[in-house]
Structure 1
């Protein structure tokens, strides 16, 4: 019997095939917190883990990947975009000091092509497993007429938990704390509308081989977002570093100064020393091709600085060493100082995302 729903452009059988293709990958993320079997109406988590906390606080975040999905669609390569989604969500949660417990995803598409959807979800599951976060549910919705057959968008949400007295925030920041930068893997998932404009203005093709990248333009632009959560969770649990972390910042939309300002108290300032790192070739090539100074892109791209942590000065060197052992390159960006008089007239930014935070500016020249 013909399914009348299929005549409207929605193929429920294709959805079932996609579920079968992704089932093993999703199930591989399930740890001992997950209850119920794959494919239920709702994901279930054993909340008895909260009994091990004196005062558990839940933390949650939701996000998407943005227009980076347009490049994945143009390249017909969909197995990395899932890591971008996971990174954008769980790395916001670890900023609070929380450990992410579980995640859900949502994919809207114009035409449900099972292999493509399964590739996306496998990427999400692989990243979740890498940071020990259970992927407990999701939804794939077919939207014919709203999205073109090859188009899709992805979003996700996660929930984590942190002990109340271990929440990281601006209140713990002290003058003299050291700010460490963690290297990004590239553009991550921000500023891609500008990236695509630069590509179009230069008449580039994503299949073009770029010497500075050692691979095609599309492959470079699809480099997935670095995952910091797994490593930072380990350091936060390390007995050597108890009470040594003050706060953290995920350098995403809004750029470097804005994302640092929002996690610092209003009475302090930070000079971010550009000379302490060199932006990767992807930033330099795109900026030069667009005729834009890197300084003018600091509010759009991370420029190689994917994450920042504020720590006590006596543990900074040791934490850099521990991060190195765990495969993350980090360095000292600057030191927390008292806020100077007339900070705004001296080039400091102190307002971002509706908050009035610390005064932050970038100084000097980038390393060559």
Structure 2
């Protein structure tokens, strides 16, 4: 007997299989399959505030189809949401995903493996999601992914612009690579202008294919930053995403302040050297676009600098003092260093 919905290109059985897959691979599976995700606010808060965020992964997802590797892009999606929540001073609590595609197949399970791993890294519960098969909107191999997350903190612990003061020390937390921004330019440089493929191995980075290098997932900063928030050691946080240093760092402070940063302090990641070389980009322009090796910048009281660095670098060096907050003269951001 024919199934008219399946004849139209939608396999509803695939959705049931996806729900079953998520239930089997998460601890918090009581919500999966319900009409809405349920989450109980933890006890102990006096004036709890919920902080929410949603995001996607941009055109980075196109590389997953090129490389036939879909198991990390879900980490990126979780990271983009929970890192934004951290920047407000909140601890992520739960996450939901939305995946739309022309055909639900093995790639969706692989994507969800990344979502589940990202939630584990963020200590966030996966309380639900949606997988939509949409032939006609997407080709069989096409897809998109978006996420939504909610965090919590005390109202008086919210990180607000007025918390950041002149003289505050700026500490940068290292990134794992490009993260999930700027990939339209990345793809243009490597695949259009230089005709590389995801299988290309460049002599500057012989240990990885270009696909492996570019699909390195976005770092999730929950484990690094949560202890600092719990001890109230942070005045402000900038999540370095689209717009790079110039757009994101000034967002955590008032208009009369500026950030003064020495770009020679932290190590340069090979992927940014490749972008500059093969894209013939001006270094200063790259700070307008990419995270340049720092995925987060936090502002702390100078008397707490050593304590914060020791907490962040307890097991490995992931954080560097990169500058300070100053009274603004003309520019929101002042970069200096021999690299420039």
When normalised by structure 1's length, the TM-score is 0.88
Q: Deviations over 1:81-102 (max 9, x none)?
A: 0110011000000111101111
Match of 1:364?
337
For the 8 Å contact 1:65–1:155, the answer to whether it is kept is yes
Displacement after TM superposition at 1:326 (Å): 5.0
Match of 1:18?
18
Paired with 2:222 and 2:339, the residues of 1 have a C-alpha distance of 27
Q: 1:302 aligns with which of 291, 306, 326?
A: 291
Match of 1:233?
226
Question: Tell me, which stretches of 5 or more residues in structure 2 are unaligned?
Answer: none
Structure 1 segment 119-130 matched on structure 2, within 5 A? 119-130=110-121
Match of 1:5?
5
Structure 1 position 46 matched with structure 2 position 40: yes
Match of 1:354?
none
Paired with 1:196 and 1:290, the residues of 2 have a C-alpha distance of 10
Match of 1:319?
308
Question: Tell me, which stretches of 5 or more residues in structure 1 are unaligned?
Answer: 349-358
SS across alignment from 1:52: coil
Paired with 1:269 and 1:3, the residues of 2 have a C-alpha distance of 62
Q: Deviations over 1:133-156 (max 9, x none)?
A: 001000001111111111111001
Q: CA RMSD in A?
A: 1.5
Match of 2:167?
176
Match of 1:281?
270
Displacement after TM superposition at 1:237 (Å): 1.7
Paired with 2:236 and 2:31, the residues of 1 have a C-alpha distance of 37
4+ residue segments displaced more than 4 Å: none
Q: 1:117 to 1:328 in 2, by over 3 A?
A: farther
Paired with 2:141 and 2:130, the residues of 1 have a C-alpha distance of 18
Match of 1:269?
258
For the 8 Å contact 1:111–1:150, the answer to whether it is kept is yes
SS across alignment from 2:14: helix
Match of 1:260?
249
Paired with 1:2 and 1:21, the residues of 2 have a C-alpha distance of 26
Structure 1 segment 52-63 matched on structure 2, within 5 A? 52-63=44-55
Displacement after TM superposition at 1:328 (Å): 5.7
For the 8 Å contact 2:99–2:132, the answer to whether it is kept is yes
SS across alignment from 1:224: coil
Paired with 1:337 and 1:299, the residues of 2 have a C-alpha distance of 20
When normalised by structure 2's length, the TM-score is 0.95
Q: 1:229 to 1:328 in 2, by over 3 A?
A: farther
Paired with 2:82 and 2:230, the residues of 1 have a C-alpha distance of 17
SS across alignment from 2:313: helix
Structure 1 segment 168-247 matched on structure 2, within 5 A? 168-199=159-190, 200-213=192-205, 214-238=207-231, 242=232, 244-247=233-236
Displacement after TM superposition at 1:288 (Å): 0.7
For the 8 Å contact 1:231–1:326, the answer to whether it is kept is no
Q: 1:67 aligns with which of 34, 44, 59?
A: 59
Paired with 1:4 and 1:133, the residues of 2 have a C-alpha distance of 39
Displacement after TM superposition at 1:161 (Å): 1.0
SS across alignment from 1:245: coil
For the 8 Å contact 2:19–2:32, the answer to whether it is kept is no
Paired with 1:74 and 1:293, the residues of 2 have a C-alpha distance of 28
Paired with 1:37 and 1:329, the residues of 2 have a C-alpha distance of 36
Match of 2:123?
132
Bigger drift between 70-79 and 296-305 goes to 296-305
For the 8 Å contact 1:175–1:336, the answer to whether it is kept is yes
Match of 1:356?
none
Displacement after TM superposition at 1:327 (Å): 4.4
Match of 2:156?
165
